[in-house]
């Protein structure tokens, strides 16, 4: 915020605000009539007045934000005047004196509904509920009513990410994590690919600035070589297309920084070994009825010059993706020995690819237009109709539906079904009908018997085999990928748990009567602690399954029907989340690593092994105190986005000298004596103690895993530098061991 005494030129600001609004009117000029122009001007006037005393963290007038969001909606999404009006007003109800009734009176019923969907729910008091998860759920619940809600919300998030540099570092991390976890996949699912790419790049810039800057720098330094290659590659194609009389445009699109980083991590290769840094896009100006034959003719021309990879042909023209994406993709070999992806599409298809779902809708006074998203919207409605009360469960289930890779499979009668890549026969069974899923014992895929877990591929024909005696079990959750299947299995298991818990409750009730103990919450809570279970339901289930020795009730003191433990064994350090939350203020407190923290137990997360000097944060687990994670830990994005309310800022105590375990992965060419050279560096040259070492060799390459004791991150970096100087060493990196983390620490369900 600017200093109160700082002189602000209000007249200059007023002119700049008007110029920003004129910029918005310019990008909407082809998409509004006189009446709609009046409505946009009125929305601007109302927003300016409502936000007149508000400023953003950067110090600029707040009104710039709604104008920018409205401009993104119009220019980058192609939405109409109603969406522009709603974008200008999107924060008024939440942050100012304007009410939803005021919106309805001034602008009508539709803007009121959209702005209601965009307005966050009030602060909730149960701190075990993620407010952001509730907000996201509220937004998704409006998808089936008016898709503009989610599109404006994405525009809002995009502008917030573009202006995130004015926020505190911890806020930047939390907002970026949440964006990467929910909003970028949502943009991808809605076909807004350029927005999705920008969101991912901005997230990486804040979550891993070093990686972002390195890749961006390498992209700039290789730009000239890349452009020269593209000119040579496209030259013969251009000439052939011109001879055939096509009207076309050829573009080369470089992969986003985040996409390159993801490929480097997934394939475990350096930047130099990422070959598909760009794709060539051929866009035809052709009538809709000729699109398909023309695209295939262009494919034929391209493959006349360059050899195609038959495994990399993707025909999304004959069978478009669920979000309406249509294009023909092929990967061909260039004369220089490099694979190049070529995308062939019409101008109409390109517009859909850029604007996504928004391109299918004519948003004026009512929703009209060609809706190719009925199947996906149907899935969302199904999820909404059957959603659990827990907001985090809902968000997790919804996120399962966000991924865009799909397979096309068939029923025995030849009916086409679209499922996500990785779907199993059990997913298919639930896609047909819930009852078929619950009674599924196996399937025939192309007439061969397969188990429930069998992974399906495009073109498979599946016949489900059922039995009335079949019941779902916990293992089933590992076999399925779709939100629908997971949700139905969880619901069936919960029903079963309730029945078992009821049996256990009756057993305990009888036992209480036998020993003259009253069935009251005080006694149940005492037994939860005594038998070390987290909830009464878990206690009843364990009793029903015979896993609790109720004979021990005789050993507990009984005073008038109330149980008393004579000596309560209290842990030296507080470890339970409920006790920790009473002791700290997560917004104000900072955990200093090396000092006592309100008698709360804290330890380093085994998944990422933080070292002094690493940027870190604390995460409150269910029963295991606070775990310290690196901010670039593989789990960090999930924890910060899904459960930010359980994160606490942390930093290292100055001048703390203590040895910490660090894990390294070394990859290189298998050579005689390489192990000796590595152990020599550890033992002699660097005065570092080794805890363990293991090596695996395959196809002339080796991978070594070493655990060493170091003082801090800088000490470790010196060791890494020494390793990298060895001949034959290709890569040295910190090794994050995700398998060693306890899933229960992060299980949201155990909090409900």
Give CA angle at 256 (251, 261), nearest 5°.
145
Retrieve residue 133's tokens: 């998860």
Cα–Cα distance for residue pair 635/631, rounded to 1 Å: 9
Distant-in-sequence, close-in-space partners of 74: CB < 8 Å, separation ≥ 6: 24, 27, 28, 31, 83, 84
Query: Is residue 328 a contact partner of residue 343, using CB atoms and an 8 Å limit?
Result: yes
Which of 342, 345, 255 lies closest to 307 in space, CA to CA? 342
137 burial type by CB count under 10 A (0-12 exposed, 13-18 middle, 19+ buried): buried
Strand boundaries in 513-600, DSSP class E: 557-559, 562-564, 590-593
Which residues share a beta bridge with 281? 251, 343
User: Diameter of the chain by CA atoms?
Assistant: 99
Give the Cα separation of 496 and 490 in Å (integer): 10
Question: Which helix (H) or strand (E) element contains residue 596?
Answer: none
Closest CA to 536 of 556, 553, 519: 519
Neighbouring-strand partners of residue 342: 280, 330
Give 177-206 as a 3 state SS string.
HHHHHHHHHHHHHCCCHHHHHHHHHHHHHH
Helix (H, G, I), strand (E, B) or coil at 471: coil
Q: Which helix (H) or strand (E) holds 287?
A: none
d(CA 245, CA 285): 11
User: What is the rounded distance in angstroms from the CA atom of residue 70 to the CA atom of residue 90?
Assistant: 9
> What is the rounded distance in angstroms from the CA atom of residue 10 to the CA atom of residue 33?
32
The three-class DSSP label of residue 144 is coil
57 Cβ partners below 8 Å, 6+ apart? 1, 166, 167
Distance, CA of 164 to CA of 175 (rounded, Å) = 9
Residue 94 annotated as catalytic:
yes
Residue 67 near residue 88 (C-beta atoms within 8 A): yes
Structure tokens at 607: 């998944």
Which stretches does DSSP call E strand in 576-640?
Answer: 590-593, 602-604, 616-620, 626-630
The answer to whether 637 and 183 have CB atoms below 8 angstroms apart is no
Q: What is the CA radius of gyration of the chain?
A: 30
Contact 66, 112 (CB under 8 A): no
The single residue of 94, 165, 249, 288 carrying the catalytic annotation is 94
| CB count in 10 Å sphere of residue 367 | 15
Q: Please identify which of the residues 13, 16, 75, 95 carries the catalytic annotation.
A: 95
Whole-angstrom distance, CA of residue 136 vs CA of residue 160:
16
**Three-class SS state of 409:** strand
374 catalytic? Reply is no
Instruction: Please identify every residue annotated as catalytic.
Output: 94-95
């Amino acid at each position: 915020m600017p200093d109160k005494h700082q002189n602000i030129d209000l007249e200059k600001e007023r002119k700049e605000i008007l110029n920003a609004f004129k910029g918005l009117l310019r990008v909407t000029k082809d998409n509004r009539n006189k009446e709609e122009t009046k409505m946009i001007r009125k929305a601007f006037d109302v927003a300016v007045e409502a936000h007149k005393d508000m400023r953003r963290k950067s110090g600029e007038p707040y009104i710039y934000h709604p104008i920018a969001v409205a401009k993104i909606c119009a220019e980058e999404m192609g939405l109409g005047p109603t969406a522009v009006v709603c974008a200008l007003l999107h924060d008024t109800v939440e942050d100012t004196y304007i009410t939803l009734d005021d919106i309805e009176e001034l602008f009508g019923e539709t803007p009121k509904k959209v702005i209601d969907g965009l307005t966050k729910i009030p602060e909730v008091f149960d701190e075990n509920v993620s407010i952001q998860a509730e907000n996201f759920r509220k937004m998704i619940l409006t998808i089936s009513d008016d898709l503009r809600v989610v599109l404006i919300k994405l525009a809002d998030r995009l502008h917030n990410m573009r202006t995130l540099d004015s926020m505190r570092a911890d806020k930047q991390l939390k907002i970026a994590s949440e964006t990467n976890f929910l909003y970028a996949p949502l943009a991808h699912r809605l076909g807004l690919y350029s927005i999705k790419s920008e969101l991912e790049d901005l997230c990486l810039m804040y979550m891993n600035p070093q990686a972002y800057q390195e890749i961006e720098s390498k992209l700039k330094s290789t730009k000239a070589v890349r452009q020269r290659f593209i000119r040579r590659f496209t030259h013969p194609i251009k000439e052939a297309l011109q001879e055939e009389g096509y009207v076309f445009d050829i573009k080369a699109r470089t992969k986003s920084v985040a996409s390159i980083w993801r490929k480097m991590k997934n394939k475990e290769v350096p930047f130099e070994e990422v070959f598909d840094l760009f794709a060539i896009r051929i866009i035809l100006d052709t009538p809709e009825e000729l699109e398909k034959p023309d695209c295939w003719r262009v494919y034929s021309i391209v493959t006349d010059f360059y050899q195609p990879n038959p495994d990399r042909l993707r025909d999304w023209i004959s069978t478009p993706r669920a979000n309406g994406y249509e294009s023909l993709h092929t990967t061909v070999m260039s004369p220089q020995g490099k694979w190049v992806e070529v995308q062939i599409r019409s101008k109409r298809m390109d517009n859909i690819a850029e604007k996504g779902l928004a391109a299918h809708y004519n948003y004026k006074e009512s929703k009209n237009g060609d809706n190719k998203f009925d199947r996906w919207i149907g899935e969302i409605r199904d999820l909404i109709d059957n959603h659990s009360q827990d907001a985090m469960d809902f968000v997790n289930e919804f996120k399962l539906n966000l991924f865009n890779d799909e397979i096309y499979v068939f029923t025995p009668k030849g009916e086409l079904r679209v499922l996500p890549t990785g779907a199993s026969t059990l997913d298919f069974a639930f896609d047909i009908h819930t009852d078929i899923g619950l009674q599924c014992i196996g399937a025939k895929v192309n007439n061969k018997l397969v188990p429930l877990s069998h992974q399906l591929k495009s073109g498979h024909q599946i016949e489900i085999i059922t039995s009335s005696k079949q019941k779902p079990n916990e293992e089933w959750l590992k076999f399925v990928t779709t939100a629908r299947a997971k949700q139905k299995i969880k619901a069936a298991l919960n029903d079963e748990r309730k029945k078992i818990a009821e049996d256990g409750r009756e057993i305990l009730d009888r036992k209480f009567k036998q020993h003259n103990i009253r069935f009251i919450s005080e006694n149940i809570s005492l037994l939860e602690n005594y038998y070390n279970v987290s909830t009464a339901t878990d206690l009843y289930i364990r009793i029903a399954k015979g896993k609790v020795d109720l004979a021990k009730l005789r050993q507990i003191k009984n005073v008038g029907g109330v149980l008393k433990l004579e000596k309560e064994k209290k842990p030296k350090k507080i470890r339970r989340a409920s006790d920790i939350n009473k002791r700290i203020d997560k917004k104000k407190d900072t955990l200093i690593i090396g000092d006592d923290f309100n008698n709360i137990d804290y330890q380093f997360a085994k998944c990422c092994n933080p070292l002094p000097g690493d940027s870190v944060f604390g995460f409150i687990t269910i029963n295991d105190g606070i775990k310290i994670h690196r901010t670039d830990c593989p789990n960090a994005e999930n924890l910060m986005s899904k459960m930010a309310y359980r994160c606490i800022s942390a930093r290292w105590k100055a001048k703390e000298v203590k040895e910490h375990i660090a894990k390294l992965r070394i990859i290189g060419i298998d050579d005689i004596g390489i192990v000796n050279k590595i152990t020599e560096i550890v033992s002699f040259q660097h005065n570092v103690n080794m805890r363990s070492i293991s090596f695996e060799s395959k196809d002339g390459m080796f991978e070594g895993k070493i655990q060493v004791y170091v003082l801090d991150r800088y000490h470790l970096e010196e060791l890494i530098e020494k390793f990298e100087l060895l001949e034959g060493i290709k890569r040295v990196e910190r090794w994050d061991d995700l398998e060693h983390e306890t899933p229960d620490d992060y299980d949201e369900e155990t909090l409900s």
